[in-house]
Amino acid sequence: MAIHPPEERIWWNEKLTKIELTWITIAFLWGLVMFFAMIYWHMVGEQNLSNEAYKIKPDVFGERTEAMTEKYTVREEGDTGIPVVHPPAGTEVYMLARLWEWWPILELEKGKTYRLHLSSLDWQHGFSLQPTNINLQVHPGYEMVVTLTPPETGEFSVVCNEFCGIGHHNMVGRIYVVEPGPVEYLTDGE
């Protein structure tokens, strides 16, 4: 119960005052500015990638990733023998997220274009490519596809930025970008 209730109980029939109309106008115009700023920044700011999303069963995505890995592995790294995959430019490249790893390690060529497919086999994960500003949500049952053309060589870290459990802090993957050149695969490859 209000201390001083309004004299007119049906307040929505009251005429707007000048100050109310001013604030409504300011809020509406600011909303328009923000809407068009997001569109402009997406196109000009080079921060957000235009991507595609498709429904996919996690086991199907896992099979595609394993097939690509088997075909284009060039070496293995680490104590567990994580495969390093060097797919040819223009091919479909797969990287999967699962507790608590990004698999496999990718080796891409500078200046070449790839379609990177990302999905999760278990929980929601965040794909953050450091030190660039690429940030995507990766969900099980959905395949995110991003077209990439690496502009420089180097080692890039893939960090999960969505808390995914007790081993979340260890969920770091890698993407190497190298100069174009001949490649020797561990298997028959192509």
Which pLDDT value is given to residue 171?
Answer: 92
CA–CA separation, 129 vs 140, rounded Å? 19
Length of the chain equals: 190
In contact, 106 and 112? CB cutoff 8 Å: no
Q: Give 127's strand partners.
A: 136
Which pLDDT value is given to residue 158?
Answer: 95
Could you tell me whether strands 73-77 and 82-85 are parallel, antiparallel, or unpaired per DSSP bridges? antiparallel
Which pLDDT value is given to residue 112?
Answer: 93
Half-sphere exposure of 103 (CA within 13 A, CB side): 22
Which pLDDT value is given to residue 49?
Answer: 66
Which pLDDT value is given to residue 48?
Answer: 58
Which pLDDT value is given to residue 88?
Answer: 93
Half-sphere exposure of 74 (CA within 13 A, CB side): 13
Q: The tokens of 155 are what?
A: 């080692």
List of residues 6+ apart from 122 with CB closer than 8 A: 58, 97, 98, 99, 140
Round the CA-based radius of gyration of the chain to a whole number and report it.
24
Which pLDDT value is given to residue 7?
Answer: 74
Alpha carbon of residue 6 to chain centroid: 52
Predicted TM-score (pTM) above 0.85: no
Which pLDDT value is given to residue 47?
Answer: 59
Which parts of the chain have pLDDT scores under 50? 189-190
Furthest CA-CA distance within the chain: 86
